[in-house]
C-alpha cells in the first residue's frame, strides 16, 4: 500500500504532498487512577462510526508541521460540529511533530504546537466524541525532518527522543478521560514495499513497547486508557504474522480486571489498491454490484475483505484485543466513470459492516480534498457535506444501539480538575409554573437525523437528578445517544441524566442528544417535561 499517493489527493499541491498520509468528560485530577469501564467489545460498539481529520495536523512544510501546509483550512469548532452532526462518533486526528521537537537530551515539543493540538482535540472531545491522536509523519522517509526511522543507524537516540516526546504528550493529556485514545505511530516501516525486514520490525516492536511503558508511567487516566499500536505498515498480513510482538502492559493500573486488555491493534485497509487509491481511470468499480468486468479489479472483493478481517479477529479480538481499522476509503474517480460513487459507497459500507462483524471499529480516511482523486466527505471551508451517500452507507453499516456509556455534557474542558456530581433521586415534581426551558435542533439526512437538546433550569432551586420526557415524531427511532440514557427508543421517550450532569443549578443547563432513523418525518421532538413539569 502506498501512503504517498493514497492520501495526498491534492493534485494542485503535489509538490508539497510528498506523502499523505477519536468526548468530553469531566476532567479528572492528574493523580486519579481512573479505570475505563468498557471492555473490548463494548469499546468498539461505543466508538461507532469513525472519521479522520486527515492532511491537517500531520501536514508539514520543510519539516515544520502546520495545519494549513497542504491546502486545508484551519480547523474550527463549527466544522467538527458538522462531522458530529453527520453521525460520526469517533475522530482520529493524525499529528506530526518533526521540527517542532527541540534538541536533546530533553527534546522539548514546541509549547504552542502542543496547545494547538489540544485545542483541536477539545473541539471533538467537548462534543461527546472519542478522539485518537498519534505520531503520524515522523516515521516517513519521504517527509523532510522525519526521524522515527526503523532502519536508521542510531536507534538509541531515536528511542530516547521517542520516549521523551510521548512523555510530554501523555503528560499534557493525562487528566482527559478514557474517550481520548493514544496511537503510538502510523504506517511505520522501512519504505520498501514487500516483506518485513529485520531488525527493522524489531525496532517497531520496541517503539510500541516504549510507547506503552511511557504513557502508563505518567499516571492519571493514562494508567488505564486504551492504547493503540500498529504492526508493520499497518498491514494486516504482516500484523497477524510472526513479526509483530504485542507490547506487554505491566505498568497499567492494578484496578483493571486481570482478564481485560487495554491495548488495541491498528491496521489500515485500502485493498484492492487499483480501485481504492490508484490515480487512473482503469479500475472504477468494486463489489458484487459491478456492471463492467473490465472496470473491476481481479482481486480484493467482498470475500477477500471478509478473510482479512477474520484474520484479525482470530489473532487478536478473540484474546480481548480490539482491532481498529484506522484508515480505509477510496478516491473519487467520477471523472473517468460517472457511476464510481456508487461503488465507493458499496466499498465503504462493506468495510464498516465487515469490521463490525469481526469486532473492529473503523475510521474513514478524509484528506479534505473533493473532486478528482479526493477522499473528502466534507467541504471543510463551508462545513458542509459533499458525499452524503457515502456517509449514509457508513452510518447504515455501523448501525449499533445506544452507547454503553454516555459522553459527558458538551462544554469546554475545565482547566481546573473537577469531580463529577453525585446523582441523587429526582425530586418531587415541583408542579405549577414551569421551571425549565428546552431548546432542540435537528440535522437530518435521507433516513437519519441528529437531535441536540439543551435543558435549562429556570427555577430558583437546584435540581438534583432529572428525567426529561418528550415525544418523537411518527417513524423516528433512536439508534444511539449521549449524555443521558434513553428509553424506550420510539414514541414517548424518557431521557435520564448521566452521573456527571444530574445537578442543574438555577440558570444551569445540560446538553444531550441522540441519533435516530426516520421514515420521512424529521420533525423535532415535542412535549418536553422535566421531572414531570412542562417546559417552555
Catalytic positions are 187, 327
Q: If phi over 0 gives left and psi between -120 and 50 gives alpha, with beta otherwise, what is residue 272?
A: beta
Q: Residue 4 in contact with residue 273, Cβ under 8 Å?
A: no
Angle between helices 111-125 and 77-85 (to 10 degrees): 30
Q: Residue 328 in contact with residue 317, Cβ under 8 Å?
A: no
DSSP state letters, 412-426 = PPPSS---PPPP-PP
Q: Which residues make Cβ contacts (< 8 Å) with residue 167, sequence separation at least 6?
A: 214, 218
Dist. CA 496–CA 514, nearest whole Å:
13
* β partners of residue 92: 52, 132
Name the residue among 189, 169, 2 with its Cα closest to residue 97.
169
Q: Residue 336 in contact with residue 279, Cβ under 8 Å?
A: no
Dist. CA 280–CA 274, nearest whole Å:
8
Q: How far is CA 388 from CA 254, 271, 446, 471, in A?
A: 45, 23, 9, 28
Q: How far is CA 437 from CA 58, 420, 440, 503, in A?
A: 43, 23, 10, 15
Q: How far is CA 221 from CA 178, 211, 261, in A?
A: 7, 15, 15
Task: Find cell 458499496 and name the residue.
Answer: 346
Task: Find cell 456508487 and name the residue.
Answer: 342
- Supply 136's cell numbers: 503520524
Please, how many CA atoms are within 13 Å of residue 361, restricted to the half-sphere of its CB? 32
The bridge status of strand 180-183 relative to strand 130-134 is: parallel
Q: How far is CA 90 from CA 6, 256, 440, in A?
A: 22, 23, 23
Q: Residue 290 in contact with residue 296, Cβ under 8 Å?
A: yes
Dist. CA 412–CA 10, nearest whole Å:
33
Q: What is the CA radius of gyration of the chain?
A: 23
Q: Which strands sit side by side in the sheet containing 526-530, from one edge to the other?
A: 484-487, 492-497, 467-471, 526-530, 533-534
Dist. CA 342–CA 207, nearest whole Å:
40
∠ CA 510-514-520, nearest 5°, is: 135
Amino acid at each position: 500500500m502506498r501512503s504517498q499517493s493514497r492520501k495526498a489527493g491534492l493534485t494542485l499541491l503535489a509538490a508539497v504532498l510528498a506523502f499523505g498520509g477519536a468526548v468530553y468528560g469531566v476532567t479528572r485530577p492528574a493523580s486519579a487512577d481512573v479505570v475505563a469501564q468498557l471492555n473490548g467489545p463494548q469499546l468498539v460498539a461505543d466508538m461507532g462510526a469513525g472519521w479522520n481529520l486527515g492532511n491537517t495536523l500531520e501536514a508539514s512544510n520543510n519539516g515544520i508541521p502546520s495545519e494549513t501546509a497542504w491546502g486545508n483550512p484551519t480547523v474550527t469548532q463549527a466544522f467538527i460540529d458538522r462531522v458530529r452532526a453527520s453521525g460520526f462518533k469517533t475522530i482520529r486526528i493524525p499529528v506530526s511533530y518533526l521540527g517542532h521537537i527541540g534538541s536533546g537530551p530533553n527534546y522539548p515539543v514546541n509549547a504552542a504546537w502542543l496547545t494547538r493540538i489540544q485545542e483541536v482535540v477539545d473541539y471533538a472531545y467537548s462534543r461527546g466524541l472519542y478522539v485518537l491522536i498519534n505520531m503520524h509523519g515522523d516515521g516517513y522517509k519521504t517527509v523532510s525532518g522525519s526521524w522515527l526511522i526503523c532502519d536508521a543507524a542510531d536507534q538509541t537516540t531515536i528511542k530516547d527522543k521517542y520516549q521523551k516526546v510521548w512523555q510530554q504528550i501523555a503528560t499534557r493529556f493525562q487528566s482527559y478521560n478514557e474517550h481520548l485514545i493514544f496511537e503510538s505511530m502510523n504506517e511505520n516501516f522501512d519504505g520498501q514495499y514487500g516483506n518485513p525486514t529485520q531488525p527493522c520490525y524489531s525496532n517497531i516492536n520496541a517503539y510500541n513497547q516504549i510507547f506503552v511503558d511511557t504513557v502508563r508511567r505518567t499516571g492519571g487516566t493514562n494508567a488505564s486508557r486504551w492504547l493503540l499500536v500498529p504492526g508493520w505498515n499497518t498491514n494486516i498480513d504482516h500484523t497477524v504474522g510472526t513479526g509483530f510482538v504485542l507490547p506487554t502492559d505491566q505498568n497499567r493500573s492494578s484496578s483493571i480486571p486481570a482478564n481485560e486488555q487495554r491495548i488495541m491493534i491498528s491496521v489500515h485497509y485500502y485493498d484492492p489498491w487499483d480501485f481504492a487509491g490508484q490515480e487512473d481511470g482503469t479500475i472504477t468499480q468494486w463489489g458484487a454490484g459491478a456492471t463492467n468486468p473490465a472496470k473491476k479489479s481481479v482481486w480484493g472483493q467482498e470475500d477477500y475483505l471478509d478473510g482479512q478481517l477474520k484474520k484479525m479477529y482470530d489473532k487478536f479480538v478473540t484474546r480481548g484485543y480490539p482491532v481498529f481499522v484506522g484508515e480505509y476509503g477510496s478516491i473519487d474517480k467520477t471523472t473517468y466513470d460517472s457511476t464510481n460513487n456508487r461503488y465507493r459507497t458499496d466499498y465503504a459500507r462493506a468495510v464498516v459492516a465487515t469490521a463490525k462483524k469481526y469486532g473492529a471499529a473503523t475510521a474513514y480516511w478524509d484528506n479534505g480534498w473533493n473532486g478528482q482523486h479526493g477522499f473528502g466527505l466534507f467541504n471543510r471551508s463551508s462545513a458542509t457535506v459533499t458525499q452524503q451517500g457515502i456517509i449514509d452507507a457508513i452510518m447504515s453499516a455501523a448501525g449499533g444501539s445506544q452507547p454503553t456509556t454516555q459522553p459527558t455534557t458538551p462544554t469546554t474542558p475545565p482547566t481546573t480538575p473537577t469531580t463529577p456530581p453525585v446523582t441523587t433521586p429526582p425530586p418531587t415534581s415541583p408542579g405549577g409554573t414551569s421551571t425549565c426551558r428546552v431548546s432542540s435542533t435537528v440535522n437530518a439526512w435521507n433516513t437519519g437525523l441528529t437531535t441536540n437538546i439543551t435543558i435549562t433550569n429556570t427555577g430558583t432551586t437546584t435540581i438534583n437528578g432529572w428525567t426529561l420526557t418528550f415525544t418523537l415524531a411518527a417513524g423516528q427511532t433512536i439508534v444511539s445517544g449521549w449524555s443521558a440514557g434513553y428509553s424506550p427508543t420510539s414514541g414517548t421517550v424518557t431521557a435520564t441524566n448521566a452521573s456527571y450532569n444530574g445537578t442543574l443549578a438555577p440558570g444551569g443547563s445540560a446538553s444531550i442528544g441522540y441519533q435516530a432513523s426516520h421514515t420521512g418525518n424529521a420533525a423535532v421532538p415535542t412535549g418536553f417535561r422535566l421531572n414531570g413539569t412542562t417546559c417552555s
